[in-house]
Amino acid sequence: MMILSGDPPRSRLLAVLLIVIVAMLVLTPWLFPGAKAMNVAVKICIFAVLVASYDLLLGYTGTVSFAHTMFYGIGSYAVAIALYAMGPSWAAIGTGIVVGLPMAMLLALAIGLFSLRVAAIFFAMITLAVASAFQVLASQMSWLTGGEDGRTFRLPELLRPGTVLIDKSAFGFEINGRTLTYYLVFVVSALLILALLRVVNSPFGRVLQAIRENPFRAEALGYRTVFHLTYANCIAATVAACAGVLNALWLRYVGPDTSLAFSIMLDILLMVVIGGMGTIYGAIIGAGIFIIAQNYLQTLMGAASSAAADAGLPLLPGLLHPDRWLLWLGLLFIASVYFFPTGVVGRLRRPKAGAA
Amino acid sequence: MSDTATSDALPKPKRDLLPVLLPAAFALLMLPLVGSASSWATLLAASLAMGMMIFIMASGLTLVFGLMDVLNFGHGAFIAVGAYIATLVFLPLAGWSQADSLLTNLAVLVPAAVLAMGVTALLGLFVERVLILPVYGQHLKQILMTTGGLIVAEQTLYALWGPQIIPMPLPASLRGSFIFGEVAVAKYRLLAMLVGLAVFIAIQLVLNRTKIGLLIRAGVENREMVEALGYRIRRLFLGVFMVGAALAGLGGVMWGLYREQVHASIGDELTVLVFIVVIIGGLGSVGGCFIGALLVAMVANFGGFLVPKLALVSNILLMVAILMWRPRGLYAVTSR
């Protein structure tokens, strides 16, 4: 259990669920070689990291940040701009990472030092304001970011779909640059999640939980709460920027819609709440459930909407239109905060915790 | 301690005038930078009008936070709903609102504003009972619940009205401007200023001169004590929440007329602006909110005129500057 930092799933069903999700992610290129399935799988990996890093803030310290997509966007844009400006080389990816991650961290440090010293509620409002300003800035500075159109760029030779590493004749399936990129994303995501698991189960993570439960007491015990919260904010921002890097590498495109939009922030919030706050595993479950639902339920909604339109029902076609997906998401969100505050992982772990 | 003569008057609370002088100082500072006095006056009028509209929207939010310790992330939804409700009156009565008579124009404007305020107040009632009541005292859940509420409200607006922008032209008699010498002040801006000022004075009067206001202020200071004295503070909360929602609705109508168009995304846009104002003013302070709204509007207008590129981040810079000076905002009301 070293690899899980002594924090196993603690529920048989949860363990099975996690193993199934991870196994499916490992086998996706073989089982479902289509582009859509691969995209869904990659999105699950990337969002699992993003949501896990957000969980470090929301679940472990109890602070709500609305700037998480901003850090995600910084990672994406840094790599994208570097690859766009320097051409498709590994050096460009390196430059993007070396510039992007510290930038995200420093910005998180600045926001944290600035707003966390007063009250957690300030932090939520200030992150919202800063994130919206950043979004406007990114779409206005079109000479750098490509504006609303974003930037399309090429990856180094090795990661391109056209690069065939092992021919189909060898094993019966082809391993190309795309498969390699997929595994790169998967492995980095897995490492980041394990690292986050390590963070939350370290003494540092325990202090964070103490702050969440009772900030005054934590401070009275001699822990500098502002320092810990800011530190957690920086870690979360850096990990989010890493997820952004992976996102850019997979999409080979970066734009406001894919990396900065406020709707991504809502998705993250929803995944954390569905999966279970304060459990890094919840991120994997939440991301898995949510993204599969998002990709396949929208089709269902479209069908329901046109069926309702054919039946001549009033209002329903509009409410069931696939673009109104967020409406149902919002209702689901409120319902899950209200009835289901511990999320899937909390539910699965509960009986055992009650027995102990 | 005990031998202090009881006849001594209580010491007057120290008046903190520095923040009040801030907008005036800022306006004066801008005069040499802008150069021409007439464009300065026009910009000033524009900022005052915009500031008043933002104040109307933000005042509810800050009151609700001050009294109930509830931060409503869905406040923007009331703004958007108010604007949409107003279109229900404006569009069918377009003939009246475009007629060249102040009276028929007002016959559209007033019912539109009243209806919008009524509907948003009812929506506020619903939101308070359904979303906020179960999570009093839990900031984290409040933020999540009200954010969810904002999404649902915005998406419902899209589902009911469609995603297109709805035009909402100004009534005919509010178009054009009054000319004072070389300075032109748009009529609608003047109206916005007057309404905003009226709302501010009304809130101040209610808070400072009535029993309800006394209870509200007492509730801000110490909720348990007011409850212990036998007042139903929950009902007071509900009333303040509904008034806050209605004010946001009124602000939405005014903003829609100012922009002459309505779209569900104004909820999001203005939420951020309103938050900045409320933070600058100090959470819970109506006076601070008033000054904050003026400052934000001035920075937006003068900044946009002098350094257009800066306008994008000017609000954030202003907020940073204010918080460097006073970390809890201009007037820190609550101990929270």
Q: What is the pLDDT of residues B209-264, one digit of tens each?
A: 999 988 888 887 788 888 899 988 888 889 999 999 999 999 999 999 998 888 88
CATH number, domain with residue A38 = 1.10.3470
Which has the higher per-residue pLDDT, A5 or B155? B155
Whether the per-residue pLDDT at A351 is higher than 70: the answer is no
Which chain A residue lies closest to B155 (C-alpha atoms)?
A327
Cβ contacts of A130 on chain B, cutoff 8 Å: 316
Q: Provide DSSP, A245-271.
A: HHHHHHHSEE-HHHHT-HHHHHHHHHH
Q: Which of A216-230, B115-129, B179-193, B251-265 has the lowest mean pLDDT?
A: B179-193
CATH number, domain with residue B166 = 1.10.3470
Q: What is the pLDDT of residues A315-342, one digit of tens each?
A: 777 777 777 777 888 888 888 888 888 8
Q: Is the Cβ–Cβ distance between A176 and A188 less than 8 Å?
A: no
Cβ contacts of A136 on chain B, cutoff 8 Å: 312
pLDDT at A83: 93
Which residue range forms the structural domain that includes residue A280? 2-355
Q: Rounded to whole angstroms, what are the CA distances from A289 to A114, B94, B118? A: 36, 49, 40
- B83 assigned to some structural domain: yes
**Cβ <8 Å between B283 and A64:** no
How far apart, in whole angstroms, are the C-alpha atoms of residue A330 and residue A263? Answer: 11
pLDDT at A356: 38
**Cβ <8 Å between A337 and B148:** yes
Q: Would you place residue B19 in the very low, low, confident or very high pLDDT band (cuts 50, 70, 90)?
A: confident
**Percent of chain A beyond pLDDT 90?**
39
Q: Would you place residue B163 in the very low, low, confident or very high pLDDT band (cuts 50, 70, 90)?
A: confident
Q: Look at chain B and count its residues.
A: 336
Cβ contacts of A120 on chain B, cutoff 8 Å: 139
Is the Cβ of A330 closer than 8 Å to some Cβ of chain B?
Answer: yes
DSSP classification of residue B169: P
Is the Cβ of B92 closer than 8 Å to some Cβ of chain A?
Answer: no
pLDDT at B10: 67
Which residue range forms the structural domain that includes residue B231? 35-325
pLDDT at A354: 43
pLDDT at A355: 42
pLDDT at A1: 60
Which chain A residue lies closest to B65 (C-alpha atoms)?
A121
Which three-class secondary structure state does DSSP give residue B333?
A: coil
**Cβ <8 Å between B155 and A338:** no
Mean local confidence (pLDDT), A4-19: 84
pLDDT at A298: 77
pLDDT at B334: 54
Whether the per-residue pLDDT at B7 is higher than 80: the answer is no
Is the Cβ of A58 closer than 8 Å to some Cβ of chain B?
Answer: yes
Structure-block tokens of residue A269: 């919030």
- B13 assigned to some structural domain: no
Whether the per-residue pLDDT at B43 is higher than 70: the answer is yes
Highest-confidence segment of A60-74, A112-126, B256-270: A60-74
Is the Cβ of A85 closer than 8 Å to some Cβ of chain B?
Answer: no
**Cβ <8 Å between A330 and B149:** yes
Q: Would you place residue A172 in the very low, low, confident or very high pLDDT band (cuts 50, 70, 90)?
A: low
pLDDT at A115: 79
- B217 assigned to some structural domain: yes
3-state secondary structure B5-43: CCCCCCCCCCCCCHHHHHHHHHHHHHHHHHCCHHHHHHH
Hey, what amino acid is at A172? G
**How many C-alpha atoms does B282 have within 13 Å on its Cβ side?**
18
In whole angstroms, how large is the CA radius of gyration of chain A? 21
Q: Would you place residue A235 in the very low, low, confident or very high pLDDT band (cuts 50, 70, 90)?
A: very high
How far apart, in whole angstroms, are the C-alpha atoms of residue B108 and residue B98? Answer: 10
Backbone angles phi, psi at B333, to 5 degrees: -90, -55
Q: What is the pLDDT of residues B280-334, one digit of tens each?
A: 888 888 889 999 999 999 998 888 888 877 776 788 888 888 888 887 888 876 5
Question: Considering only CA atoms, which of A260, A244, A255, A259 is closest in space to residue A132?
Answer: A260
How far apart, in whole angstroms, are the C-alpha atoms of residue B145 and residue B132? Answer: 7
- B169 assigned to some structural domain: yes
pTM of structure: 0.84
How far apart, in whole angstroms, are the C-alpha atoms of residue B185 and residue A253? Answer: 47
What residues have CB less than 8 Å from B31, skipping those under 6 apart?
A: B37, B40
Structure-block tokens of residue B110: 């007033």
- B333 assigned to some structural domain: no
Q: Mutating which of A64, A263, A319, A340 best tests the B interface, going by the most B Cβ atoms within 10 A?
A: A64
Whether the per-residue pLDDT at A162 is higher than 80: the answer is no
- Which of A136, A262, A330 minimises the CB distance to B148? A330
Mean local confidence (pLDDT), B60-87: 88
**Domains in chain B, number:** 1
- B10 assigned to some structural domain: no
**Domains in chain A, number:** 1
Backbone angles phi, psi at B152, to 5 degrees: -60, -45
**Cβ <8 Å between B279 and A140:** no
DSSP classification of residue B183: E
Question: Considering only CA atoms, which of B258, B277, B265 is closest in space to residue B57?
Answer: B277
